[in-house]
Amino acid sequence: MTELLLKNARIVLEDEIVEGSVLIRDGLIVDIGGNTAVTAGDDMEGDYVIPGLVELHTDHLEGHYAPRPKVRWNPYAAVQAHDAQICASGITTVLDALRIGMDDEQDMRSEDMILLADAINDGCRSNRLRADHYLHLRCEVSAPDCHEGFVAFDDYDRVRLVSLMDHAPGQRQFARMEAYSTYYQGKLKMSDTVFRAFCERRIAESEANSNRHRIILSEACRKRGIVLASHDDATLQHVDEAIEQGIEVAEFPTTFEAAKASKEAGLAVLMGAPNVVRGSSHSGNVAASELASHGLLDILSSDYIPFSLIQSAFCLGDMVEGISLPQAIKMVSTNPARSSGLDDRGAISVGKRGDLVRVAVDHQIPIVRTVWREGRRVV
């Protein structure tokens, strides 16, 4: 039997903050009590103790694997580096997003995604990773090879989430063509002529492939019991399509209208933590803080900056009146755990996993001091 006692902590529960201690035995939380008569244990010195964060959508792994154009790092080393940064940001459960559906301009191929998935699986099997890793397949349904790439993951049992996305210009995330031009023309260094041809091809691929891939993939996910997410819904029609396809999570809705309709339909609304920290969307779409102020925000995701997840949770209450710290912490722990079917974690509650984070705050920035996964210190 192994025990861990954390005392003299400000414990962030689902609905309140209490001062006291948390006892973990054999990886599970068995008691939450006051400080009275607690003499043994690790002294938290009044720091916060929060649940380990649950991350549903991070693209961060690719940056470790392909740090420069045409450069490929060892996939096992890339996963280790990614894992260390994720866990040091307070994230104890992560759904690593791997892209499905490629185009000619991308520096990545489907084979790269398989290499990374295999490295993640191997790290989990050998217990080399600090955080608990699962897979999120972010499927570019407009790409001709989307279904082929999806089928390649048929035997990967760590797939827990599939998102359906279409980044063709003139709709969803890139309804404003100037935003699309800034992102793609600037990133790929295209001339105006080449960029126009690129846009025409992407629009044609979307018209030819998106609808059929959404139908095929949503049916396959229902059969496998995989949670489905829509991506960048902008209109009521998009939300209606999502409901018909069995979507459970609305990722990054781009308009207030779509977020409101998604919430009213029972979908969990997910927005980017960088959006919260920056105060706006980098694409000029609806701000996460605006949705939070109207009760339309359920989940935050670090997207491309791992530390933004815990940073957003600790700053959201300062940005939005009426949002308490426990409410904000639920958006990065309880809610994403529940939405991905991981009901054994995501809250400091008796019977839940002992995934905990010790946090101090200095200059309004959270400082991750210690991280435990199932009662074992990993940071």
Q: Of all residues in the chain, what percent carry a pLDDT higher than 90?
A: 79
Q: Of all residues in the chain, what percent carry a pLDDT higher than 70?
A: 91
Integer Cα distance of 43 and 20 in angstroms: 10
Other CB atoms within a 10 A radius of the CB of residue 265 amount to 13
In this prediction, residue 42 carries a pLDDT of 93
In this prediction, residue 174 carries a pLDDT of 63
Integer Cα distance of 373 and 333 in angstroms: 13
Other CB atoms within a 10 A radius of the CB of residue 154 amount to 9
Q: What is the pLDDT of residues 41-63, one digit of tens each?
A: 899 999 999 999 999 999 999 99
Residue 133 in this model has a pLDDT that exceeds 80:
yes
CA 297-302-304 angle, 5° bins: 135
In this prediction, residue 105 carries a pLDDT of 60
What average pLDDT does this structure show over 98-118? 87
In this prediction, residue 240 carries a pLDDT of 95
In this prediction, residue 249 carries a pLDDT of 98
Q: What is the pLDDT of residues 227-247, one digit of tens each?
A: 999 998 999 999 999 999 999
What average pLDDT does this structure show over 90-98? 98
Per-residue pLDDT band for 134 (boundaries 50, 70, 90) equals very high
Integer Cα distance of 262 and 280 in angstroms: 20
In this prediction, residue 368 carries a pLDDT of 98
* Sign (positive or negative) of CA dihedral 336, 339, 342, 345: positive
Q: What is the pLDDT of residues 268-302, one digit of tens each?
A: 999 999 999 998 776 668 999 999 999 999 999 99
Per-residue pLDDT band for 153 (boundaries 50, 70, 90) equals very high
Per-residue pLDDT band for 199 (boundaries 50, 70, 90) equals confident
In this prediction, residue 181 carries a pLDDT of 66
In this prediction, residue 1 carries a pLDDT of 77
In this prediction, residue 103 carries a pLDDT of 73
* Sign (positive or negative) of CA dihedral 210, 112, 118, 91: negative
pLDDT higher for 175 or 216?
A: 216
Residue 3 in this model has a pLDDT that exceeds 60:
yes
In this prediction, residue 223 carries a pLDDT of 95
Residue 82 in this model has a pLDDT that exceeds 90:
yes
In this prediction, residue 9 carries a pLDDT of 96
Per-residue pLDDT band for 207 (boundaries 50, 70, 90) equals confident
For residue 375 the two structure tokens come to 């009662």
In this prediction, residue 116 carries a pLDDT of 98
In this prediction, residue 314 carries a pLDDT of 97
Per-residue pLDDT band for 16 (boundaries 50, 70, 90) equals very high
Q: Dihedral through CA 269, CA 272, CA 273, CA 277, nearest 10?
A: -120
Q: Which domains does the chain have, with CATH numbers?
A: 1-51+345-379 (2.30.40.10), 53-340 (3.20.20.140)
Per-residue pLDDT band for 104 (boundaries 50, 70, 90) equals low
Integer Cα distance of 223 and 352 in angstroms: 28
In this prediction, residue 176 carries a pLDDT of 61
Residue 36 in this model has a pLDDT that exceeds 60:
no
Mean residue pLDDT across the chain = 91
